Structure 1
Amino acid sequence: MAKKITLAAALTAIASAAPAGNPMVGGAPMYEQKTIVENAVNSADHTTLVAAVKAADLVDTLNSDGPFTVFAPVNAAFAALPEGTVETLLKPENKAMLQKVLTAHVVAGDWSAKQIAEAARSSADGFYHFNAVSGDALSAQVKGNSVYIYDESGNASKITIADVDQSNGVIHVVNSVLVPK
């Protein structure tokens, strides 16, 4: 004889089997079925990044299949750069430089913060060394419960919101701009 299941029990089972979902970023929900760009345009904390991606003609790239891991600096990270830096980078004649800066925040593959942290913890020097799409060297280190990404100059950027899943990869929100040499 079949066992009767109540509607409440079925809904509870479905809810507990569903993934936790993405965190909100910049006051906006992030949808796993949307691309990196489709989600980023809704984040109030990433308007400078979105403007830069558009100016660098990288929208199509970041809308492609990927997968990509993007370390996405917030507006305050861009504002902390020396005065005039963002304005200079956004000029059409500096497009190649802007592309280099932005692609220094992108890694091929879909890397969760846990995977990055495990790679750093298991390395001999406590750092996971990898390359950005730009070709620039990046390193990851775990301090306490936080993961930090270092650029080639040794500047650290903390992952403040990890594992924002996208249809073509993952975004990790970071608190500073990674500057290539």
Structure 2
Amino acid sequence: MTPKTTLTAVIAAALAATTGLVAAPALADHHKEMKAEPNIVQVAMSTGVHNTLVAAVKAAGLVETLSGPGPFTVFAPTDTAFAKLPEGTVATLVKPENKGTLTTILTYHAVAGKVTAADLVALIKQHGGTATLTTVSGGKLKARLSGDKIVITDAAGGTTAVTQADVMTSNGVVHVTDGVFLPG
């Protein structure tokens, strides 16, 4: 490895360690030895804080869809976000007999197309402070700004903050959230 390549690897490792996510492959364009940009599922699997989401995506049979070309925008709740749900909720949802409900909840976290944080902020401003997003499940999410954070309100009235925006993937973008959206 050249000194420049080593520095790039160190920077990428530092970014991954501080964000808990796969380093954005902007550096990969300059270095062929780095892997291609991961897809949404690969990113979720690599973070160490989205294990519940990954298990739910697998139980719902959505791995192939969310690994496909998309593009999708996924609001990805962390394990801590899932832990805020009433005890037993996740265990019940991942049972085979609840696959339909689980699929509805998970697709309520996805929007067709690639919507970056800047796009979302522009929509919020364009629509007088609140933007409405239609999810893949057909549900609605309301996005607004609270200070410098994007806050999402679900159909049940719950509010969730985007804690990390714009994790770019090969098939869209992921925004990490501190809560789970409920379709109502």
Q: TM over 0.5: same fold?
A: yes
Please tell me the residue identity of whatever aligns with 2:145. V
How many angstroms does 1:31 deviate by? 4.9
For 2:131, the equivalent position in structure 1 comes to 128
Q: Name the % identity.
A: 45
Please tell me the residue identity of whatever aligns with 1:161. Q
How many angstroms does 1:34 deviate by? 1.1
Deviation string 1:84-107 (CA, Å, 9 cap, x unpaired) is 100000100000000000000000
- Considering only CA atoms, is the larger Rg found in Structure 1 or Structure 2? 1
Q: How does 1:1-181 map to 2 (within 5 A)?
A: 24=16, 27-32=20-25, 33-124=37-128, 126-181=129-184
Secondary structure of 2:90's aligned partner? helix
Cα distance in structure 2, aligned partners of 1:168 and 1:159: 20
The structure, 1 or 2, with the larger RCO (C-alpha pairs under 8 Å, 6+ apart) is 1
Cα distance in structure 2, aligned partners of 1:91 and 1:105: 19
Please tell me the residue identity of whatever aligns with 2:20. G
Cα distance in structure 2, aligned partners of 1:72 and 1:30: 17
Cα distance in structure 1, aligned partners of 2:23 and 2:56: 20
What TM-score, normalized to structure 2? 0.83
Please tell me the residue identity of whatever aligns with 1:27. G
4+ runs deviating over 3 angstroms: 23-26
Name the Cα RMSD after superposition: 2.0
Cα distance in structure 2, aligned partners of 1:157 and 1:24: 24
Cα distance in structure 1, aligned partners of 2:90 and 2:181: 13
What TM-score, normalized to structure 1? 0.84
Cα distance in structure 2, aligned partners of 1:28 and 1:141: 25
Please tell me the residue identity of whatever aligns with 2:153. Y
Task: Flag the structure with higher helix content.
Answer: 2
Structure 2: 5+ residue stretches without partners: 26-36
